Structure 1
Amino acid sequence: MPSRIAVIAIDAVRPELVAEFWCEVLGWRVVADDGEVVSIGPADSTWPTIDIAAVPEGKVVKNRLHLDLRADGATTQQELQRLLALGARRTEVGQAPDSSWVVLADPEGNEFCLLSRSVQEVIDETPRPEDSSR
């Protein structure tokens, strides 16, 4: 049996701030907070969760791992505006000028991407089993 992702870990100087940002972005909630690590997850308690752990140092280099998001229930442009209003900021990590995604950073500089197509656009383009029988 293969492994499953249980937790995605993010280091932060201010875990509460980063947790609040990601809860708003994903529509999640805080599921645990021990003062050192704030855990957030979906309302239905499915995996994975994100643990935001307190560390003394600030971010100094580009992330080696990041999240890619798709707009869900809104256009990509609407979602970009929402993310910026929540405190995300555009960032440059060496992406091509004509990239189909937007690179953003959370309040502590952790990069993530907003992909060009929404969830609905991807679903609409996904072949359905009944389509393959013809």
Structure 2
Amino acid sequence: MTSRLVAVVVDCTDADALARFWAAALGHHSIRAWDDDHGTTYAQIDDAVPLLLFQPVGEPRTGKNRLHLDVAPQPGGTQRGEVRRLTALGATVLDEAPGLPWIVMADPEGNEFCVLPAED
């Protein structure tokens, strides 16, 4: 038997705000908050596959992400247009290295992700 991927979990300070950013970034609409037995409130994007779960933690992120998401514009969109849209949602551009096809960005809590070029 093998394992199956159930969720991608993102540690964050404000689970609700980060879930709203990523739901808007990815075009999802179903955000649900729930509490664990210790009173910690999580937020998840129910209609994302895999599920995206935002877990509040007390300490800030330090250092480079060990895992990141890659996103690309929908058909008919452009990489530059997607970067502008994500910036308007609260992301920031971190790096546009010459010769590399991706643009490195950070979500509102500083988690890095890449915007790839549109597929042909």
Q: Same fold (TM over 0.5)?
A: yes
1:37-48 map, 5 Å:
37-42=42-47, 47-48=49-50
2:49 partner SS: coil
Whole-Å separation in 2 of the counterparts to 1:110 and 1:47: 19
Offset of residue 40 of structure 1: 0.8
1:1-134 map, 5 Å:
2-28=2-28, 29-34=30-35, 36-42=41-47, 47-73=49-75, 74-92=77-95, 96-118=97-119, 121=120
Greater fraction helix: 1
Offset of residue 5 of structure 1: 1.7
Greater fraction strand: 2
Offset of residue 51 of structure 1: 0.6
Whole-Å separation in 1 of the counterparts to 2:3 and 2:19: 25
Offset of residue 31 of structure 1: 3.3
Counterpart of 1:50 in structure 2: which amino acid? L
Q: TM-score, normalised by structure 1?
A: 0.76
Q: Given that residues 32 and 40 in structure 1 are in contact (C-alpha distance below 8 angstroms), is that contact kept between their aligned partners in structure 2? A: no
Whole-Å separation in 2 of the counterparts to 1:13 and 1:38: 11
Which residue number in structure 2 is paired with residue 131 of structure 1? none
- 5+ residue gaps, structure 1: 122-134
- 5+ residue gaps, structure 2: none
Q: 1:2 to 1:71 in 2, by over 3 A?
A: farther
Offset of residue 99 of structure 1: 1.2
Q: TM-score, normalised by structure 2?
A: 0.84
Aligned residues: 114
Structure index of larger Rg:
1
The alignment yields a C-alpha RMSD, in angstroms, of: 1.8
Whole-Å separation in 1 of the counterparts to 2:91 and 2:34: 23
